[in-house]
Structure 1
């Protein structure tokens, strides 16, 4: 039985610092404003004295976020040379220079510097996310000192300062509101709430109240969208909620990507293989009494032959090409390694709002005059219809109840439709905007009603007590009405009649049950409800203290942020590819579960739904078991997201995490691949991510996963091609030492090997990055995090084909010597044979099966690269410059043709055997 562990103690502790020290007994949201002021030692009507403020500033420090230490560009550049592959090459260059092979030394060093510069540039241009977090802070604050209001730098605020806020202000520090008038704050970046939050100065006694529901608190870096407020600063700097997140970000170290781990493993294999071969060759040389200089030359050749010098460069180029392809499909890679990581992803932790959903509130159903209507359309687009029980389209000219309900919805409304970047958009509250759009679908708008002489006489705005708003209106005929909308329970409590089938009837137990059933039905489908009502007003009959009495209920809207139309198919594609989707959201569990069921994330009762409060009581081991079957995590905090990602990674999963807010940044950094929203995302989220979705669309992630898999497959094809060449080069030299007796000769010079690795083989191998995806690419399960890069028989294919090419190359070299050819001519013939063998082999490297299964004309880049490589190699053999640098000699036409056709034998024979007998290792 598993040992029960104590729950984590750091899950939802308040930020360290001011708040923790001053509010040990009770956090400020559980205190009255007077108690908060008393705890902080301040009189609200006078504020702090300037002397006290200076003293507190010295005690608590400036109201700023701590900045992360940055490496200097020089140190960052020098770190790139710590790559083991580059170290071996630098040793080879030093030996070349010591033995007088200056051209070899310079050529090797150029390759080393190019690789280091490419890696340096990729890291250098990555921006610091903590710096972006700091930039979100307010520069100024309107603060009371010594009984006088003054503007002061936000960095000078201290606990106890009294701050005044108005619409448009960025809140400069965490604060407890003393007073709030129609105050609304956009906290989406901090809590994930999709709409501005109504704030007040009431007490919330529950210590465990989640951050999103602390309605009497304002938090640093969030924005006031409406109303005014007075607040007492309770926390500053790193003690604020944003500071707490900054601390999590600093602690959340980015993990190495699977590709980085595999390349490091490959480096170790190559280094080990190189050292073993060098030891064998030197041992043979010592036994045969070879000269020390010759031994050094041999060591140089072997170190150059054993290492694919172009590997870091080509990997970077292939990833760059992949990132460009992704960018054309709305996925912008900020870190090249993330391009491949997508192909390894086994679980996608996705936010709900704006990623899985449209982030556009929409009326989905409505009940008007006793009838229920389905509403079609998408988001804020005013195109759509109303469908009745038998799917017949409503005629607004006939359906009076529906038309009048929509007229009231449009008129009793503060939102309006606008066009933004050529698309319909809403200015104002998104929920109110949904009503405006619904009315527009039958041709009704507030401006049109005003043009038709519907005149607003007075407004009764929404407040958190009445939970409704109303407008006193005069109709064109001169009659006056009060039209209202608000929470259904509040409207129903004040309604005496209901409009049913064109008639106003008193509310009784029967029709009340019908109305409540509609509200319950909408709620069960995770629809947010708003009721619409009216009352005819006689002269002098309007009570301004209680305007919405004796109203008539006419209808109820069912509103939600619906799933994107393409998301269910994308989730299904991910599932078929073995990639699980988990919704992690700050929204309520009921809403999240309904969306998850609609789009196919939750398809069975075995898949569980959890809220953040549950995670507080789970140990890390218990959470590890929970995440295996979880489909939805709702009402979560930044700490919860971090723990979820860590639990998935501990289970061996490769986790992708999406997010758009400041609260998502720590998890974005912790995840194997952080995915930020390009449209709705904050700069902090983007800077903490590896990938940015330019369209905020979940289906783009699935497209990117497919691209990541294709890129990884193509990288394996490149590695097969490159390492086959390296094995061939090493084995050519090894065969010479084993078979040529006491005085072996080098079949290839170091610069010939460099030429093969970088030019004649490197250029065609690079074109493998353009290979189209295999047909069954998205039908396989994701690769395991620990899967070896040589899995699937790749190692055997490289060794067998490399030895075959190496043996053939040595045979051609030795035969030329036996026929009396000079050493330089024999080396050139071996050089040509090796080049031709690799050009033949690249057509086989295109597939994990055989070259006979692929159309050679599918990849036009490959054909062009092979032609270019062949042309450059001919220049290396037949021009004076090539002869001087590479020590080659022009070959006769007969010998060149022999090299071309003989070089085809390993590829054709081994591919033929594999095609006939199905050996995976060939």
Structure 2
């Protein structure tokens, strides 16, 4: 990454670019708006500052990434077991364990390898070519060759190739949504702005790399290139923002350590007993292999991946696409959702919500750009546009003095043009009025005076069918009022007295208190010959005011309430103004109490990280924020123990999306950079989809816990069966189970039904629970006790079956097969109890058809393992008589039925 250049330091050492006149910026950069840089000057600067492009990031070798997967503690202990099996000539065991290790590592590798490189997408947004003045001539050069001091020229449709200070702007508007979050193009000018602390969205005389010119033309001096640009700053934040470990990853790591510790402890105990009893070294090694295999749920990494994949497919069907499987479960742990406003909580469709015409106020119904709706007065009476002359004339003017169009695309109403102008067109359409209808009635345009950021107005000189001439205008209310001579009310012009002005200003203030943007509509007759084309909007008459906003999505309030009932806070983080953001937050239920605070980016700049951590638990809204602010907010939440989900759609959101526990990008309006930085993509850009995904994430975690309970109960049963043999059989103990029998139970006879637990439906209270704490143990809620008690009980009956076979003088293979079959049957009984937090007596066994199918498949495969020559050869089993088989099945049912019955009778939650 190239260092900050001396040129930039010379300018910013005094005041920032936007606070200085353009000629001072020219002087500081030793350039000229008349000639630009000379070729030798540009060459010299290029050698000093480097090319105008973002720095490349180091790429991870696929081979090294594959090797990384073998660092898993679970895989390490299995690899040791495979090595010992090979050393002791248990080749079948060694191969089987090795395949399990390789399978788990391969699945994890592909999961990580497919992650896209978001910085590559960020680089793709840069302009490839730029129009620059060199040696006094306009030439097109590769954007990578731009340097500070170059003079650039822009027109509508161009991508700005570097950060610039505008020196010329003719109706220039730039779409900065991806960088600042602003929902509308920003009108630009060339005047200095006397405020050194402006956030990005308020730097109206600046242009930024990768943003798009939507209207007009302009010129500007390059003040920063490459990694020194605002986009470069974001790229640096993205490169340095580490992906946090998900709560599931942290819990699995802790579980791995617990399992390894338990396995080593058991192996140490058994070897100690063996040494004390004088056992053969090879026998002890063989026993150690069996115990290590028995203590580790080999299928855990694979099953976690499969269950998360199944969950991701369900989420995708509900418009939430998981790019990272870990995101599926992380949603279930989320304690705070940091949501962007525009397009996520709101419709991203500007809409007239309230109108004032002829002294009367109207509420406007409908949604977004849909022309269905009505104007309703304070008594709830719908306006009859044929009788409401003042309202009709206001809406006619609004529709005619307008460059936007309402169109139907793919069966949906949409606006072509400025969204705010489009809102006026839609409002008029709700009562059947339009520019086309007026043109059909022979209203024609004599001359148009387009909107620009200096005049803050647009007007059109028109002629009516009877030959009268009018100027119709719309613009900022303060500008219109300052040029108005009166107000149209009740079919007549009323002079703009102090009282009348106060009445109009009260309407404007009321609309503002509702977070509505205001746009005034006016007219004047021009048949008296006083019309001046150089200054047309003189002595105009105010006829009405529109109150416009991007309204909340209809379903958002309920979704926020659902999140709140689930113990999840929603915090709005937006680039919009604080007053607007607070009003929306109050309207949809994010801010419901006075103790909930609203903060701006300027305030955050004055806070230390510790002060920020102190306010985030009570904050409801963060407004006018920068990418760095968002990153700090997410970090502060994580440090206070929150599991934070962060939504976003722009380049400016990418660092925080990567830093958050789960980044959620918008699929419709989101940039490729945002999508590639996120773990989850909303295909419908809808906040309520996040809440649905949270429910799905909680269901998935519940089902993973059910799998862990089922799998670890089998592991405890296997270990305890062997331990009982060593403790109770004296100096010459026999192995009740072979290593491959244990693998078979873990992966097939128990693993398949356990996997089917991933299809369990959500528990009824799943969205009434509080979020799990980030540091909550996977064994919380009595799970550890249930696993140990059930596992020891199954181990006891399995050892009893083994010992009973030996007491009947049956051979060792038959005795081992009886222990093997007993554990298999016991786990099949237990899986019906593991699928609920209550007992199997309270949940229909037919509620999960896939589980019934899995149990049937497990029984069929286990029959192959017990009754076929292949099973005899590979596993060392022996065919059992029907009497022995039924006896094992009966004994195997006792632990689940007896313990579940006791739990049902006495209500012991830990049992």
Q: Place the TM-score, normalised by the shorter chain, in its bin.
A: over 0.9
Residues of 1 paired with 2:848 and 2:57: CA distance? 46
Residues of 2 paired with 1:98 and 1:451: CA distance? 94
Give runs of aligned pairs for residues 257-272 of structure 1, distance below 5 A: 257-272=246-261
What does residue 595 of structure 1 align with?
584
What does residue 662 of structure 2 align with?
673
Q: Which range is displaced more, 141-150 or 231-240? A: 141-150
Residues of 1 paired with 2:503 and 2:20: CA distance? 42
1:627 lines up with 2:606 in the alignment: no
What does residue 36 of structure 1 align with?
25
Residues of 2 paired with 1:465 and 1:26: CA distance? 24
Aligned partner of residue 767 in structure 2, secondary structure: helix
Aligned partner of residue 647 in structure 2, secondary structure: strand
C-alpha contact (below 8 Å) 2:459/2:472 kept by paired residues: yes
What does residue 841 of structure 1 align with?
830
1:900 lines up with 2:889 in the alignment: yes
CA deviation vs aligned residue, 1:490-542 (integer Å, no higher than 9, x gap): 11111112111222222222322221111110011110000111111116432
What does residue 524 of structure 2 align with?
535
Q: CA shift at 1:17, angstroms?
A: 7.1
1:145 lines up with 2:111 in the alignment: no
Residues of 2 paired with 1:715 and 1:809: CA distance? 26
Q: CA shift at 1:15, angstroms?
A: 7.1
What does residue 4 of structure 1 align with?
none
Residues of 1 paired with 2:530 and 2:109: CA distance? 77
Q: CA shift at 1:20, angstroms?
A: 3.6
Note the residue ranges of structure 1 that are not aligned, 5 or more in a row: 1-13
Q: CA shift at 1:420, angstroms?
A: 3.1
Aligned partner of residue 48 in structure 1, secondary structure: coil
What does residue 898 of structure 2 align with?
909
Length-normalised TM-score, structure 1: 0.98
What does residue 90 of structure 2 align with?
101
Quick one: which of 621, 635, 642 aligns to 1:646? 635
What does residue 679 of structure 2 align with?
690
Residues of 2 paired with 1:452 and 1:741: CA distance? 108
Aligned partner of residue 57 in structure 1, secondary structure: helix
Aligned partner of residue 533 in structure 2, secondary structure: coil
What does residue 448 of structure 1 align with?
437
Q: CA shift at 1:290, angstroms?
A: 1.1
Q: CA shift at 1:285, angstroms?
A: 0.9
1:885 lines up with 2:874 in the alignment: yes
What does residue 511 of structure 1 align with?
500
Residues of 2 paired with 1:541 and 1:752: CA distance? 101
Residues of 2 paired with 1:99 and 1:603: CA distance? 69
CA deviation vs aligned residue, 1:6-51 (integer Å, no higher than 9, x gap): xxxxxxxx97875345432221111111111111111221111111
What does residue 379 of structure 1 align with?
368
Quick one: which of 444, 466, 488 aligns to 1:477? 466
Residues of 2 paired with 1:323 and 1:479: CA distance? 65
Give runs of aligned pairs for residues 618-767 of structure 1, distance below 5 A: 618-767=607-756
Quick one: which of 173, 176, 184 aligns to 1:184? 173
What does residue 69 of structure 2 align with?
80
What does residue 3 of structure 1 align with?
none
1:201 lines up with 2:172 in the alignment: no
Residues of 2 paired with 1:537 and 1:103: CA distance? 99
1:172 lines up with 2:155 in the alignment: no
1:434 lines up with 2:418 in the alignment: no
Aligned partner of residue 319 in structure 1, secondary structure: helix
1:863 lines up with 2:876 in the alignment: no
CA deviation vs aligned residue, 1:609-656 (integer Å, no higher than 9, x gap): 111111112222211111111111111111111111111111111111
Aligned partner of residue 27 in structure 2, secondary structure: helix
C-alpha contact (below 8 Å) 1:49/1:145 kept by paired residues: yes
C-alpha contact (below 8 Å) 1:15/1:240 kept by paired residues: no
Residues of 1 paired with 2:456 and 2:169: CA distance? 16
C-alpha contact (below 8 Å) 2:717/2:794 kept by paired residues: yes
Judged with a 3 Å threshold, the aligned counterparts in structure 2 of structure 1 residues 39 and 18 are, in CA distance, closer, same or farther, namely: closer
Quick one: which of 329, 332, 338 aligns to 1:340? 329
Residues of 1 paired with 2:11 and 2:365: CA distance? 54
Q: CA shift at 1:840, angstroms?
A: 0.2
Aligned partner of residue 746 in structure 1, secondary structure: coil
Residues of 1 paired with 2:666 and 2:763: CA distance? 29
Tell me how large the CA RMSD over aligned residues is. 1.1
What does residue 511 of structure 2 align with?
522
Aligned partner of residue 636 in structure 1, secondary structure: coil
Residues of 2 paired with 1:118 and 1:793: CA distance? 31
Count the aligned residue pairs.
909
What does residue 874 of structure 1 align with?
863
Q: Which range is displaced more, 344-353 or 15-24? A: 15-24
1:285 lines up with 2:285 in the alignment: no
Judged with a 3 Å threshold, the aligned counterparts in structure 2 of structure 1 residues 279 and 309 are, in CA distance, closer, same or farther, namely: same
Residues of 1 paired with 2:351 and 2:223: CA distance? 38
Residues of 2 paired with 1:799 and 1:315: CA distance? 22
Residues of 2 paired with 1:487 and 1:147: CA distance? 40
CA deviation vs aligned residue, 1:789-828 (integer Å, no higher than 9, x gap): 0000000000010000001101100110110111111111
C-alpha contact (below 8 Å) 2:11/2:17 kept by paired residues: no
Length-normalised TM-score, structure 2: 0.99
Residues of 2 paired with 1:557 and 1:22: CA distance? 43
Residues of 1 paired with 2:871 and 2:467: CA distance? 98
Residues of 1 paired with 2:221 and 2:493: CA distance? 50
Quick one: which of 408, 416, 426 aligns to 1:419? 408
Residues of 2 paired with 1:620 and 1:203: CA distance? 32
Note the residue ranges of structure 2 that are not aligned, 5 or more in a row: none
Quick one: which of 272, 283, 295 aligns to 1:294? 283
C-alpha contact (below 8 Å) 2:319/2:682 kept by paired residues: yes
Q: Which range is displaced more, 888-897 or 273-282? A: 888-897
Residues of 2 paired with 1:463 and 1:194: CA distance? 18
Q: CA shift at 1:480, angstroms?
A: 1.4
CA deviation vs aligned residue, 1:195-217 (integer Å, no higher than 9, x gap): 10000111012111221111111
CA deviation vs aligned residue, 1:355-381 (integer Å, no higher than 9, x gap): 111110000000011111110000001
Q: CA shift at 1:709, angstroms?
A: 0.7
C-alpha contact (below 8 Å) 1:356/1:567 kept by paired residues: yes
Quick one: which of 343, 351, 367 aligns to 2:356? 367
Quick one: which of 806, 818, 826 aligns to 2:807? 818
Aligned partner of residue 779 in structure 1, secondary structure: coil
Residues of 1 paired with 2:693 and 2:9: CA distance? 43
